[in-house]
Structure formats: structure tokens, C-alpha cells
Structure 1
Amino acid sequence: MKIYSHKPDGYECPFCSIVSGVERPNQGTKQRDIIYQNEYVTAFIASKWWPNNKGHVLAVPNQHFENIYELPAEYAAEIHKAAQLSAFAMKYTYRCDGISTRQHNEPAGNQDVWHYHLHVYPRYENDNLYRTKGFQTEPNDRPFYAEKLRLWIGENK
């Protein structure tokens, strides 16, 4: 069901590119950033980081759904399984103090990529996640985090 759509005409979805194996020639996500993938979902290290929460993960459906209003329940379940795997992997490999997830819908909900996605953040005492701004990372900064999470998930799923 296509309701509450805000993507502009001609929108080229960066998450659909990742899922399909196409890398953009910029700072965006690379195939080596993927930590988990199945027929429903792809989870990867986000290309935008927060200063004290590096290596956070995005879990996206492999099929294009703009927002939560379109997302079928079977995809939602798989996204949350991927988020849970990511959370356990972060807890064990990053040694973080906790985990936060968040998800945005529509412009007023701070959605800025028109493909449903769930953020999974490693949290640390006094990390100020909600008081800091994100920044674009360099592609070579991400493999360190991706390899840790991918290895843990491969050994524990």
C-alpha cells in the first residue's frame, strides 16, 4: 500500500543500490560494510556516524518499502531479528554499555532516506547520542567495525 509517500520523482534509492550490490562512487556504503544478509533483510555499518557511537548499523528490507506504513509484517520480523543479532554482536565485540534502536518516518519524523531502515546504536555511559550531530565517514573507517560484527554473527547465528 503506497500511502504517505514523500520520495521525490526520479528518486535513486541508496539502500536499494546496496542490497543489489551496486556501489556508489562516493563516501556511501560499500559491499564490505554488510554484516548480515538474508532473503528479506540486509544489515550494514552506516556511513554516517555519531562521534561517540561509531560503527552503528542500519537494517533495511531487501525490497523497497518507503516507510513503516508500507512494511509487511514478515519483513518487520526479519529486520528485528537482524537488529537483535547486531545488538548482541555490538555488545560482545564493542563492549558497549547498552543499545538503542530508532526508526524515522516522513519528514516530520526526521526520515531523510526514502527506504525503511532501523538504526542500531552502540551506547556508552554519557555518550550524548541525542545531543550530537552525525557526520559522513570515510569508507576505509568502516571495515574494522564490519569485520568484528560479521565474524561474531557468523559464529553465533
Structure 2
Amino acid sequence: MSPTTHEPADYPCPFCDIQQGVFNERNLPSDIVAVTQRAYARIAPKWWPVNPGAVLVIPRTHVENLYDLSPADGQAVWDLTQRVAVGIRSSYGCEGTSIRQHNEPAGGQDVWHLHVHVFPRHANDRLYQRQDEARWVAPEARAPFAQRLREQLGMPTTFD
């Protein structure tokens, strides 16, 4: 085990589960907005108050954090992150985007599979000051954002 590994031995990874057809209210196929050979993007099930429709971009291979990410998977994640940010900017009516990624508990990581957050941004939205106000959102609230972004991106959305 790497000294940078924090996931328990029996960790039920939600980002691997969705690729294997294991679903729950926070992890649904309707959340997927784009799939490539090495990465995928999904509407996040947790939102900040004035930044609805945030997206997670995830390598398809299970890797806990940035330290162990292969260059090929890193390139795939970054390429898809850029496409998602452009898609969000074009289809959500926001004024910009922000991207962030966390490593290890001290870095704010709480899911043990690397992922990049892509947030729609609005002037004075105070995204980084409102961390404690984030909340889980229902699938029906996520669905319109997923549909809008899927249409904008025009990419595959299944793990075939």
C-alpha cells in the first residue's frame, strides 16, 4: 500500500460501481454526460448553493489520487475536463467555470477515486467560502443539467 493511500481495503467505490451497473440515488446512469475510452463525466450529486449542475470528470481506471495517475489517464481526464468546461459555459448561462481536484484527507479528498470538479461560476457566487453549504441533490434536480450538457457535448454516454 502506498503511503498516499487512504481507501479502506473493502472500499465500495461509487465511480467504479456506476461503470459496472451498480446504482443508487447518488449514482445513476442518467447522471453520465460523456464517456471516452479512459475517462467519463457525470453531473455531481452534491451542489453548492448557487452553482447547480457541477460536473465530476473521472478516470475510468481506479486510481485513488493524482500521485498515482498515469500520464495517459491524466491526459484523458484533462481533455474531457476542458470539453466539459466549454460545454458548461456554452449551455448553462454561467459567467465562467472553476476546476478543482483534491488529494488525501488533508487536501479535502473524501471519495477514494480521483475526480476533477468542474463548477459553473457566477459573479460574486462565493463558491470557495460556501463549502459547508453544499448539499446532496435529488436525481430529478440533476436531470435537466445532465440533459443540457449531454446535448451540448454530443459524446457517447454509455460504458460499452
Same topology, TM > 0.5: yes
**Contact 1:19-1:42 at 8 Å conserved across structures:** no
Displacement of 1:16 in angstroms is 0.6
Offset at residue 95 of structure 1 (A): 1.5
Task: Say if 1:103 and 1:117, in contact at 8 Å, map to a contact too.
Answer: yes
Structure 1 counterpart of 2:18? 18
What secondary structure does 1:44 align onto? strand
The residue identity in structure 1 corresponding to 2:31 is D
Alpha-carbon shift at residue 136 of structure 1 (Å): 0.3
Letter in 1 for 2:9: D
Query: How far has the Cα of 1:20 moved from its partner?
Result: 2.1
Partner amino acid, structure 2, of 1:146: A
Percent of residue pairs identical: 42
The corresponding residue for 1:134 is 134
Partner of 1:68: 66
Runs (5+) with no aligned partner, structure 1: none
Question: Structure 1 residue 19: deviation in Å?
Answer: 2.1
Secondary structure of 2:16's partner?
Answer: helix
**What is the match of residue 32 of structure 1?**
30
Match of 1:51 in 2: 49
Q: State the 1:3 CA deviation.
A: 4.3
Where 2:68 maps in the other structure, the secondary structure is: coil
Determine helix, strand or coil for the equivalent of 1:39.
coil
Larger deviation: 103-112 or 146-155?
146-155
Amino acid at match of 2:104: E
Instruction: Give distance in 2, aligned partners of 1:83 and 1:118.
Output: 7
TM-score, structure 1 normalization: 0.93
The total of aligned residue pairs comes to: 153
SS in structure 1 at match of 2:154: helix
Supply the distance in 2 between the matched residues of 1:40 and 1:20 (Cα, whole angstroms).
15
Tell me what 1:106 maps to.
104
8 Å contact kept, 1:33–1:142:
yes
Letter in 1 for 2:78: H
Gaps of 5+ in 2: 156-160
Secondary structure of 2:66's match?
coil
1:8 counterpart residue number: 8
- Determine helix, strand or coil for the equivalent of 1:105: coil
Given that residues 57 and 121 in structure 1 are in contact (C-alpha distance below 8 angstroms), is that contact kept between their aligned partners in structure 2?
yes
Task: Give the SS at the match of 2:69.
Answer: coil
Q: Secondary structure at the match of 1:69?
A: helix
CA deviations over 1:64-108 (Å, ceiling 9, x no partner): 000001100111111111111111111111121111000000010
Aligned-residue offset at 1:137: 0.4
Where 2:67 maps in the other structure, the secondary structure is coil
